[in-house]
Each structure stands twice: as structure tokens, then as C-alpha cells.
Amino acid sequence: MTAVLTPPTATRTRADGGVALVLAGALSVQFGSAVAALLFPQAGVGGVVTLRLTIAAVVLLAVCRPRLRGRGAADWALAGGFGVALAGMNTLFYHAIDRIPLGLAVTLEVLGPLGLSVVTARKAASWAWAGIALAGVALLGRTGLGRLDLAGVAFALGAAAMWAAYILLSARVGARFAKLDGLALAMAAAAVLTLPLGVTDGGAALLHPHVLALGTAVAVLSSLLPYTLELTALRRMPTATFAVLTSLGPALAALAGWLVLHQRLGLTDALAIALVIAASVGAVRAGVRLRR
């Protein structure tokens, strides 16, 4: 006999499924970054970035088959700008994790969307959460950043700025292009932009079967699988809940860094990460309350 779900139960089941999808996507991204770091010695940072973006672009273009004719100059400029944000965000972030632990790099990178949410909210509550995030960074700076590669820290902060730009452009691209057409075109643009540096950095190693296999894994784990899971999850839950769950990125990155790269973080590092996560969750929830 088949059980019939009541509407509240069905809604709760869909929401629970959405939570699982978001967490799976977040884990996929962070473990994809860890696998990418393993590939740096063989293909170079630029080579890995190019492999990830190129493979993801080929798959997206093949699946989405975006319409090319009839596009105006504004469409191409927007897709191109989105591609620049994608290329910059990935390149800077990969250079960061080549120099500093994955968990700390993501902690610094998440300051980008956090800062964006604070600026757009323009309320005291959001600024209070920003202060907590800065306290976490200050704690990291007192006992953690001093022992880190300063270039790595700078790259992570640059990736944070590009992530904020990515968010702003993503909303505009989603409104102008149907389905994933805008993302496919932007990913292709990003691949083209990173290709010269990638070929220079990786050279013939990019064509080695082992490197291609790991590069494909990185593309799937870091781009294709998360995008699919997140789009499915957003149909099952409010965007605010989605944003809160994605704020767990630094903790998941620390887990991936520990399991895959054997990067251990101290208690102070963990506390700093926790403060940044709490600030991200608080800023999202404060923004939701203010919009009601």
C-alpha cells in the first residue's frame, strides 16, 4: 500500500531534499578545489584553471546549445563581463590555495559576498555582522595570517572581490538569458581568456591522460555538478535558506583540505572560520528580515 503524503509533509520532504542537494553541491565544490590543488605541481595553476573552465565550457555549450544569432551588443558585453568575473575569480582563488590552506582561503574569499550583502542592506544589523566577520579576520591576522604567504592572502581577497562581481553579474545574466545560455557563453569566454596563460603554465602536460582525467574531475566537481545541484535545490527552498547553507563553505573547505591535502588548522583558525561563518549566516538572515 502506497503512503500518501499530506501537503505539510510533502513540503518538508522537498525542503529536506533541497538542503541535502545544497550541502552536496558545496562539498563537491570544496573537494573539487582540493583535487585541483593536487594537480598544480603537474599542470601549473594556470593550466588547471584552463582545464577546469575549458572542459566545463565544452560540456555546457554541448548541453545548452545557446542561441548565438540575434544577440545585441549589450548581450555580448554582459556575457563577456560575466566571463571576466569567472576567469578572475577562479584564477585568483587557485593562486590563493596554491599558497595558503584551503579552509583559510575560502574564509577570506567569502568576505566578498558577505561585504556585498552588508552594503546592499544598508542597515545597522548587517554592519554588526560585518564587524563580527572582521573580528574573525583580525583573529586570523593576529595568530594566523602572519605565518601565511602574503601573496596568497592577497589572491584570496582578490577572489573575494571577483566573487562579489560574479554575484552581481549573475543576476543580470539570469534575467537576460534563457536557462543556462548566459552561463555557457560566459564560461566559454572565461576559457578563452585563461587559455594563453594556461598553455604557457601547463604546456604539453595538459594533454597527458592523467592530467586530463583529473582536470575533468575538477570541472565536474567544481562547476558542472554544483551548478546542477544548486539549480535543483533552488526549486525546493527559499533563496535565503540556500544562502545560509552556502555560508558553510569555509568549514567544508577546511574539511576537504584536511582529508585530501592533509592541511591541519589550529584552534584559533577554527574559531576565526566560525566567526566568519556566523557573520555570513547572520547577515543573510538580517537581510531577509529587513525585506519582509
Query: Is the CB of residue 36 less than 8 Å from the CB of residue 245?
Result: no
Domain-embedded: residue 6: no
The phi and psi torsions of 251 (rounded to 5 degrees) equal -65, -40
Alpha-carbon gap, residue 77 to 13, rounded angstroms: 41
pLDDT at 258 over 60: yes
For the cut 80, the answer to whether the pLDDT of residue 291 exceeds it is no
Higher-confidence residue of 247 and 76: namely 76
Q: Is the pLDDT of residue 265 over 90?
A: no
Q: How confident is the model at residue 4 (pLDDT cuts 50, 70, 90)?
A: very low
Residue 6's pLDDT is 44
107 and 249 Cβ atoms separated by less than 8 Å: no
Is the distance from CB of 248 to CB of 110 less than 8 angstroms?
A: no
Task: Give the pLDDT confidence score for residue 14 in this predicted structure.
Answer: 58
Query: Does some domain include residue 2?
Result: no
Chain-centre distance for alpha carbon 224: 12
Radius of gyration over every alpha carbon of the chain, rounded to an integer in angstroms: 19
Confidence (pLDDT) at 214:
94
Helix and strand counts by DSSP (H, E) for the chain: 12, 0
The string of pLDDT tens digits covering residues 146-173 is 567 889 999 999 999 998 898 888 878 8
Task: Please give the backbone phi and psi of residue 242, each rounded to the nearest 5 degrees, phi first.
Answer: -60, -45
Average predicted confidence (pLDDT) for the chain: 84
Looking at residue 102, its pLDDT comes to 93
pTM here? 0.85
- Express each pLDDT in 26-64 by its tens digit: 899 999 999 999 999 999 999 999 999 999 999 999 998
CA torsion 84-256-284-91 (nearest 10°) is: -10
What's the whole-number mean pLDDT along residues 209-236? 87
Q: Is residue 100 part of a domain?
A: yes
Q: Which amino acid is at 236?
A: R
Note whether 276 and 111 are within 8 A (CB). yes
Examine residue 1 and state whether it is found in any structural domain, yes or no.
Answer: no
Q: Which three cell numbers stand for residue 246?
A: 552556502
Q: Is 292 exposed, middle or buried (0-12, 13-18, 19+ CB in 10 A)?
A: exposed
Cβ within 8 Å of residue 83, ≥6 positions away: 185, 186, 187, 188, 189, 190, 192, 193
**Residue 97 within a domain:** yes
pLDDT greater at residue 143 or residue 205: 205
Assess contact for 282 and 129: CB atoms under 8 A. Answer: yes
The DSSP letter of residue 85 is H
In a domain? residue 8: no
pLDDT tens for each residue of 124-139? 676 787 788 878 877 7
Q: How far apart are CA 257 and CA 101, in angstroms?
A: 7
Domain assignment present for 91: yes
Q: Would you place residue 217 in the very low, low, confident or very high pLDDT band (cuts 50, 70, 90)?
A: very high
User: How does DSSP classify residue 221?
Assistant: I
| Residue 223: DSSP 8-state | I
- The string of pLDDT tens digits covering residues 166-198 is 888 887 887 888 888 888 999 999 999 999 999
pLDDT at residue 259 is higher than 50: yes
Residue 77: pLDDT over 80 = yes
- Residue 267 inside a domain? The answer is yes
- Indicate whether 2 pLDDT > 70: no
User: Measured between alpha carbons, how far is 39 from 63 in angstroms, rounded to an integer?
Assistant: 27
Q: What percent of the chain has pLDDT over 90?
A: 44
pLDDT tier for residue 121 given thresholds of 50, 70 and 90: low
Whether 64 and 283 have beta carbons less than 8 Å apart is answered as no
State the residue range of the domain holding 254: 16-291
Q: How many domains does the chain have?
A: 1
Residue 12's pLDDT is 56
